[in-house]
Amino acid sequence: MSEIDRSTWFRWPQSYRERAPVPELAPYVSCVWVQEVSPGSPPFVFQAVPNGCVEVVCIVGGLPFIIGIQSGLTREMLAPGTVMVGVRFRPGAAAPVLRTSAGEMVDLTVGCDDLWRGSAASVGETLAAAGSPQEAAGLLEAEVLRRVRAATDPDPLVRSAVGMLVFDPANAVRTLTTELHISDSQLRRRFMTAVGCPPKVLHRTLRFWGFLALAQSGPHRRRSLAALAGSAGYADQAHLARESVAITGVAPSELLAGIARNCGENHNHAPTYLPLLRARHRAGHRW
């Protein structure tokens, strides 16, 4: 196989861009993404905020792997010339596709061969032969789609609960058991299998991502932390600060300063942010 010329792939020193999945994958997958570091750039330290999701990832030229949900901020140094593609499952949707409990993969990175019975090498070779990062992402998406078609459906009760948690960033976790007619212990058990964390932890994670979405969205960028905290569903700025430290290890001002340094027009989080912004608008929070 001839070597692929990737010299024209890179438009920015480093970039991260999401897109929506194909319609058939939409109930399972929130986004497909591409991350690049130009060969002429210094190494890029990538910081990942916990998002409550399982992801299938491949560094083009290597083997695909699966990242379980993370319990804290993670940092990874990406070498110059790195092209990484990924498919992010919705909370609770990955377990039947991967045929394992999400609770067994928390804070773990697992080679796809361990779950996909020897197919990782062929998938890696297919992605390495792609003509562009977008094509590589589409090929990984097609592999996930093939496995979704062969999988059982996600837990419908967990899916309903996740939708409620997205819709109401302030109070939904208190009413889940009543509205879903299930005990706390049963709901927690089903969340641990499908999502990998209890409902309260996912609720905190989604609320924090709602804050990140607001903080990086158009006119909201210049709002005070106190105003952003209220719009995101926190009791006050102090509540936001405590949650930021608990989830990421740093204060919200420090986190946003890092995002401002590393993100710009070459970063696109729209598929992740738009549903959270719409949910906060529907819930009646003032912007």
Q: Collect all residues with Cβ–Cβ distance below 8 Å to 62 and sequence separation of at least 6.
A: 124
Q: What is the pTM assigned to this prediction?
A: 0.91
Question: pLDDT tens digits for 70-89?
Answer: 998 888 899 999 999 999 99
If you average pLDDT over residues 195-206, what whole number do you get? 95
Q: In 3D, which of 5, 31, 30 has the Cα closest to residue 16?
A: 31
Task: Please work out, in degrees rounded to the nearest 5, the angle formed at the alpha carbon of residue 168 by the alpha carbons of 156 and 33.
Answer: 70
Instruction: Quote the pLDDT of residue 287.
Output: 36
How many angstroms separate the CA atoms of 146 and 85, rounded?
Answer: 17
Question: pLDDT tens digits for 93-127?
Answer: 999 999 899 999 999 999 988 777 778 899 999 99
Instruction: Quote the pLDDT of residue 211.
Output: 94
How many angstroms separate the CA atoms of 268 and 37, rounded?
Answer: 15
The answer to whether the beta carbons of residues 210 and 228 sit under 8 Å apart is no
If you average pLDDT over residues 249-266, what whole number do you get? 87
Instruction: Quote the pLDDT of residue 119.
Output: 80
SS (H, E, C) 6-29: CCCCCCCCEEEEEECCCHHHCCCE
Task: Please work out, in degrees rounded to the nearest 5, the angle formed at the alpha carbon of residue 147 by the alpha carbons of 145 and 151.
Answer: 115
Instruction: Quote the pLDDT of residue 272.
Output: 94
Percent of the chain residues topping a pLDDT of 70:
92
If you average pLDDT over residues 42-50, what whole number do you get? 89
Instruction: Quote the pLDDT of residue 51.
Output: 95
Say how far residue 5 (Cα) sits from the centre of its chain: 30
Instruction: Quote the pLDDT of residue 282.
Output: 67
The answer to whether the beta carbons of residues 94 and 88 sit under 8 Å apart is no
Question: pLDDT tens digits for 211-255?
Answer: 999 998 865 566 899 999 998 889 999 999 999 999 999 999 999
